[in-house]
Amino acid sequence: MVESVNGGGVGLRRHPETGSHLARSAFLWDADHLLVQYQPRAAPGAADEPLHLESRLFNLESGAEVDRSRALPLLMAADGPHVFAVENEPWPRVLVLERR
């Protein structure tokens, strides 16, 4: 949930029951789809779960969700046959992956 703080600033706060979602990435997957990745955050006092990314693919024309995954790394862009991923472990790096 995003709310105005002190005259125009934006802050992120967790919903007391459902937690929140931190946007990590959004870009055109291809001419017809948008890929959005976010990181769910648990509600305060909830059992800590391992951090993971939710990836969702949306149709640009209809807005319908086409697919979702928890298996993808943090992706930043797609260009033709390549997808660019970012990892911080074991060291910071950008990976150039090939779509199949």
Residue 71 confidence class, pLDDT cut points 50, 70, 90: very high
d(CA 27, CA 35): 6
Question: Is residue 6 a part of any domain in this protein?
Answer: no
* Nearest Cα to Cα of residue 59 among 33, 85, 35, 39: 33
Helix, coil or strand: residue 12: strand
Question: Is residue 71 a part of any domain in this protein?
Answer: yes
Q: Is the pLDDT of residue 46 over 70?
A: no
Question: Is residue 29 a part of any domain in this protein?
Answer: yes
Please give the pLDDT value at position 48.
60
Question: Is residue 8 a part of any domain in this protein?
Answer: no
Question: Is residue 4 a part of any domain in this protein?
Answer: no
What's the structural domain count of the chain? Answer: 1
Q: For residue range 2-28, list pLDDT tens digits in order.
A: 444 444 444 455 556 666 777 889 999
Question: Is residue 24 a part of any domain in this protein?
Answer: yes
Please give the pLDDT value at position 99.
87
Please give the pLDDT value at position 76.
94
